[in-house]
Amino acid sequence: MTALVSESRFPDPDRAYRALIDAHRGLSDQDSAALNSSLVLILANHIGDQGVLEEAIALAKQSLERSSPDRS
């Protein structure tokens, strides 16, 4: 089973990040959320591995807890 790769993989991570920002520029929150939903589905399918997907979800949830310290 492949494990989720959490080390950096893009030769130029800044450009990859920028591509995501560009994609959302000018979109309403609602359209942004819709775009992200499509992206998640496309990328999840590209990964094509239930275990990796679940690890990614767990990692994202962990970061959600950290980024919202006022959440009880």
Partner 1 sequence: MSTRRTLYQFGYRRCPDQDRPSPARHPVVVVGAGPVGLCAAIDLAQRGVPVVLLDDADRIGEGSRGICYAKRTLEILDRLGVAQPCLEKGVTWKIGKVFQGNDLLYAFDLLPEGGHKMPAFINLQQYYLEHALVARAAEMPNLDLRWRNKVVGLSHRNEGVTLTVDTPDGPYDLEAEWVVAADGARSPLRGMLNLSFQGEVFEDRFLIADVKMKGDFPPERWFWFDPPFHEGHSALLHKQPDDVWRIDLQLGPHADAEAEQKPERVLPRLRQMLGHDSFSLEWVSVYRFQCRRLERFVHGRVMFAGDAAHQVSPFGARGANSGIQDAENLAWKLALVIKGAAPESLIDTYDLERSAAADENIGHSTRSTDFIAPRTAQELRFRNAALALARHASFAKRMVNSGRLSMPSTYETPLSTPDRDTWSGSLRLGAPLPDAPMRAQDGRPVWLLEALGGEETILHVPNGDSRPEGSRVLVIGEDLMDEHGHFAERFDATPGSTYLVRPDQHLAARWRQAAPDLVKRASLRLRGVDA
Q: How far is the CB of 7 from partner 1 (least distance, A)?
A: 27
Rule CB under 8 A: choose which of 16, 20, 27, 34 binds partner 1. 34
What is the rounded CA–CA span in Å between residue 38 and residue 44?
10
Query: What is the nearest approach in angstroms of partner 1 to the Cβ of residue 48?
Result: 9
How many Å is the maximal CA-CA distance in the chain? 40
Cα–Cα distance measured from residue 9 to residue 15, given in angstroms and rounded to the nearest whole number: 12
DSSP 8-state class, residue 50: H
Q: Which of residues 37-66 bind partner 1 (CB under 8 A)?
A: 37-38, 40-42, 45
Residues that bind partner 1 (CB under 8 A): 33-34, 37-38, 40-42, 45
